[in-house]
A and B are shown apart, each in its own frame.
Chain A
Amino acid sequence: RKEVEQDPGPFNVPEGATVAFNCTYSNSASQSFFWYRQDCRKEPKLLMSVYSSGNEDGRFTAQLNRASQYISLLIRDSKLSDSATYLCVVIVYYGQNFVFGPGTRLSVLP
């Protein structure tokens, strides 16, 4: 089993739609979780950290379920500019390397 798995995608949604991405991780000792966004042929950029209590940043909401080892990202009112690949990232211990999921590609259509 891979350490971090994500919905295979791609997701093609119309502008204004709500879309949710799922991510599961295998190591129950994992401590930190992030969603990164990667535009085509660019480097990954931090979208948001994921906290146990869940957190929201504008149209984006991230949730963590430690018992199920599951992370989600919800995007409301999708914009054309949201088109990108969304990478789920897990860190087991502080200072250690990022473990990336394979990414889920989102295309928001006009």
Chain B
Amino acid sequence: DAGVTQSPTHLIKTRGQQVTLRCSPKSGHDTVSWYQQALGQGPQFIFQYYEEEERQRGNFPDRFSGHQFPNYSSELNVNALLLGDSALYLCASSSKTGTDGYEQYFGPGTRLTVT
């Protein structure tokens, strides 16, 4: 049973560029949440997707956008990259209809460096 997968594992971009990160949830999960973790800090919630719609959003600018596909996989897009966007981006999957309760399972993350 594959867990949460993310791609790519590492990425280097230049200020002003755009980036797309990808996530496939754990089998049986229908909800994907994205978090940004800066060095030395706890993860910060970006947004959550369920039924292909953004259901919740954290305190992030509109430069951060996302999408969820019918197979529940998800993308995170960041436009006009800033140096401060350098972080580990974590995807977490969960189920609104299953028996896992509140638990979220995290992928290994994508480490984004903006130069």
Residues of A within 8 A of B (CB): 4, 32, 34, 41-46, 49, 87, 91, 94-103
Contact = CB atoms under 8 A, between A and B. Distances in A.
Given A102-B41, A102-B42, A103-B41, A97 B107 contact: no
Given A34-B102, A94-B102, A103-B42, 15 more contacts: A34-B103, A41-B88, A42-B109, A43-B90, A87-B42, A95-B96, A95-B102, A97-B33, A97-B56, A98-B35, A98-B104, A102-B40, A102-B41, A102-B42, A103-B41
Interface stretch (B11-19, B43-51, B62-70, B71-79): B43-51
A45 B105 CA distance: 7
Given A94-B102, A95-B96, A100 B109 contact: no
B41 A32 contact: no
B5 to A, nearest CB: 11
Interface residues of B, number: 25
Contact of A43 (B40, B42, B102, B107): B107
Given A91-B102, A97-B56, A97-B58, A43 B44 contact: no
A103 B38 CA distance: 12
Contacts of B41: 102-103
B102 A97 contact: no
B108 A43 contact: yes
Contacts of B102: 32, 34, 49, 91, 94-95
B106 A45 contact: yes
Contacts of A96: 48, 56
Contacts of A98: 33, 35, 43, 45, 92, 104
A49 B103 CA distance: 9
A98 B91 CA distance: 12
A43 B109 contact: yes
A44 B106 contact: yes
Contacts of B88: 41
